[in-house]
């Protein structure tokens, strides 16, 4: 993979819109991918859920296409989707080459002319959809509120990662149309967006079309950057009673921001500790001792600061105390000795396979167009692909061990026991009851 690179050409329109083009003429499709540099971190306490709401509203219609966005694009043979995170919102289409202008016209119309079609009725309908989504995915789902408890414990009140991307039910219910309109004007415009076109299109033609459809849109104000910090100086133990059958243990640590030093190493730590049947904790907790039904780990990399999450569900009749003890032993061994060379080889191979997989498609989540936008918005460099891969290639046994020692400390973490209702005794000793909603 030494010679791999994601080729592109980038220009910025007069209104501030970054346009990135990648040619790939293998099949007659083009990916249209737009990132807005706005997520839930751009909200504030009491006013959460706006970015995610627009993930819904942007598909409902705009001034010159005042109906759903899926039917015309799907009728043309395209695929359509979008997503929202703490740090960005993206929308994409993958269409046959002859439907490219349709996709560009529709994207430009909702960027420039969404608000004339955003009626009170449409706003209230989609607000109700989001409230129902929150009930289904968080409030009524087993373990669904665990992440709420963890983020509130990891990040102090007022920190932009203190709440979930979907927002709180109370805040969603309190939204007003004029507040939603103001949020759109602030963030959803060319000067805060990046457009990537990848696939069967000539570069010059791509820039001509981008200028034709987006060049006349008003730039909007450049949003002020968000800054915040968080720290944890003690072991926080919490217990949450839920409608679950089996107790589950969550451990979380504050870790470096996305692309910062040791971010990649902690990604590798999550892999060697708990991802896959050959990982240390799966082998011990699930296969050998049968203490847990499952175990997983993840470095949740974010723009302002990340967190490392480790999760294990107790097997029937097994104790969270015993699971925690095994986890702490594994963590101490990693802190003391680092990974083995064979573990590093396996992790590097999996990372490189993942990077290779991301090059197999021009569109969709994680495809070439999405990567170009991701690197452009979050690093200011669409060509960061090789440098990103190098972060993992350059990791060593010593740097991985150092990352574990520095960040995965026993006295600077949040440990959450989620237990069946009425069985608080199954939580780790010293856990404080927490109420989340």
**pLDDT tens digits for range 184-218:** 999 999 999 999 999 999 999 999 999 999 999 99
- On average, the pLDDT of the chain sits at 96
pLDDT tens, position by position, 49-88: 999 999 999 999 999 999 999 999 999 999 999 999 999 9
Same domain, 283 and 363: yes
Residue 63 and residue 185 in one domain: yes
Q: Which of 164, 185, 214 is the last residue of a domain?
A: 214
Res 4: pLDDT: 67
DSSP single-letter state for residue 252: E
Does 260 have pLDDT greater than 90?
yes
Residues 208 and 284 in one domain: no
**pLDDT confidence of 227, banded at 50, 70, 90?**
very high
209 and 180 assigned to the same domain: yes
pLDDT tens sequence across 363-401: 999 999 999 999 999 999 999 999 999 999 999 999 999
Q: Say if residue 210 is in the same domain as residue 239.
A: no
Asked if residue 250 and residue 397 are part of one domain, the reply reads yes
The answer to whether residue 225 is domain-embedded is no
Do residue 263 and residue 169 come from a single domain?
A: no
Helix (H, G, I), strand (E, B) or coil at 295: strand
Q: How far is the C-alpha of 216 from the C-alpha of 110, rounded, in Å?
A: 13
- The whole-number average pLDDT for the span 131-154 is 96
Residue 2 inside a domain? The answer is no
Of 214, 243, 263, which residue constitutes the final position of a domain? 214
Give the tens place of pLDDT for each residue, 302-330. 999 999 999 999 999 999 999 999 999 99
Closest by Cα among 106, 109, 122, 194 to 378: 194
Out of 214, 248, 282, pick the residue that ends a domain: 214
Residue 230 banded pLDDT, cuts 50, 70, 90: very high
Q: Does 4 map to a domain? A: no
Number of domains present in the structure of the chain: 2
The parent domain of residue 55 ranges over 9-214
Q: Is the pLDDT of residue 3 over 70?
A: no
Query: pLDDT tens digits for 334-363?
Result: 999 999 999 999 999 999 999 999 899 999
State whether 251 and 321 are in the same domain: yes
51 near 254, Cβ under 8 Å? no
Please, how many CA atoms are within 13 Å of residue 53, restricted to the half-sphere of its CB?
A: 29
Contact 359, 4 (CB under 8 A): yes
DSSP annotation of 216: T
Distance CA 358, CA 362 (A): 9
Domain assignment present for residue 69? The answer is: yes
- 253 and 122, same structural domain? no
Query: Which DSSP helix (H) or strand (E) runs through 353?
Result: helix 341-357
Strands (E) in 183-230, as ranges, are 193-199
Contact between 7 and 386 (Cβ < 8 Å): no
Query: Which two structure tokens, joined as six digits, stand for 342?
Result: 């064979």
pTM for the whole structure: 0.95
Do residues 371 and 88 touch, judged by C-beta distance below 8 A? no
Regarding whether 202 and 239 lie in a shared domain, the answer is no
Decide if 1 is inside a domain.
no
Q: Is residue 143 part of a domain?
A: yes
Judged against a pLDDT cut of 80, whether residue 423 lies above it is answered with: yes
Does residue 220 lie in a domain region?
no
pLDDT band for 276, please (50, 70, 90 cuts).
confident
CATH number at residue 329: 3.30.830.10
Query: Is there a domain that residue 185 lies in?
Result: yes
- 110-127 residue pLDDT tens: 999 999 999 999 999 999
Q: Give the pLDDT of residue 1.
A: 44
**Is residue 409's pLDDT more than 80?**
yes
Whether the predicted pLDDT of 103 surpasses 80? yes
Q: What CA–CA distance (Å, rounded) separates 169 from 181?
A: 19
Q: Are residues 185 and 94 in the same domain?
A: yes
SS (H, E, C) 412-425: CEEEEEEEECCCHH
Q: Same domain, yes or no, for 365 and 397?
A: yes
């Amino acid at each position: 993979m030494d010679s791999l690179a994601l080729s592109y050409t980038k220009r910025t329109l007069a209104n501030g819109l970054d346009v990135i083009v990648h040619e790939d003429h293998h099949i007659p499709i083009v990916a249209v991918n737009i990132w807005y540099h706005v997520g839930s971190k751009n909200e504030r306490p009491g006013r959460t859920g706006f970015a995610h709401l627009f993930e819904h509203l942007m598909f409902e219609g705009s001034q010159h296409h005042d109906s759903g966005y899926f039917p015309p694009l799907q009728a043309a043979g395209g695929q359509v989707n979008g997503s929202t995170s703490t740090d960005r919102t993206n929308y994409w289409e993958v269409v046959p080459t002859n439907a490219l202008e349709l996709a560009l016209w529709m994207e430009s119309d909702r960027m420039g002319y969404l608000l004339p079609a955003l009626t009170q009725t449409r706003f209230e309908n989609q607000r109700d959809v989001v409230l129902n989504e929150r009930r289904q995915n968080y409030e009524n789902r087993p373990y669904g509120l665990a992440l709420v408890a963890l983020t509130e414990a990891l990040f102090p009140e007022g920190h932009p990662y203190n709440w979930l991307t979907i927002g709180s039910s109370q805040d969603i219910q309190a939204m007003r149309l004029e507040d939603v309109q103001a949020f759109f004007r602030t963030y959803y415009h060319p000067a805060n967006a990046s457009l990537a076109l990848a696939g069967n299109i000539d570069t010059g033609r791509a820039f001509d079309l981008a200028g034709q459809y987006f060049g006349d849109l008003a730039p909007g104000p450049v949003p002020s950057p968000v800054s915040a910090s968080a720290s944890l100086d003690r072991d926080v133990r919490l217990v949450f009673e839920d409608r679950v059958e089996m107790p589950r243990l969550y451990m979380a640590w504050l870790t470096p921001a996305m692309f910062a030093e040791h971010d990649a190493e902690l990604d590798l730590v999550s892999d060697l500790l708990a991802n896959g049947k050959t990982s240390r904790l799966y082998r011990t907790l699930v296969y050998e001792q049968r203490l847990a039904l499952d175990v997983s780990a993840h470095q949740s990399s974010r723009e302002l600061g990340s967190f490392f999450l480790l999760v294990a569900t107790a097997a029937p009749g097994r104790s969270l105390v015993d699971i925690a003890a095994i986890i702490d032993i594994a963590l101490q061994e990693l802190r003391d000795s680092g990974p083995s060379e064979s573990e590093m080889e396996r992790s590097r191979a999996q990372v490189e396979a993942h990077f290779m997989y991301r090059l197999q498609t021009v569109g969709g989540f994680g495809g070439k167009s999405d990567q170009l936008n991701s690197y452009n918005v979050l690093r200011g460099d669409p060509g960061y692909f090789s440098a990103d891969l190098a972060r993992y290639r350059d990791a060593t046994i010593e740097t991985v061990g150092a990352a574990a020692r520095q960040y995965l400390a026993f006295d600077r973490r949040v440990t959450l026991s989620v237990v069946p209702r009425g069985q608080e005794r199954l939580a780790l000793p010293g856990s404080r009851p927490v109420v989340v909603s």
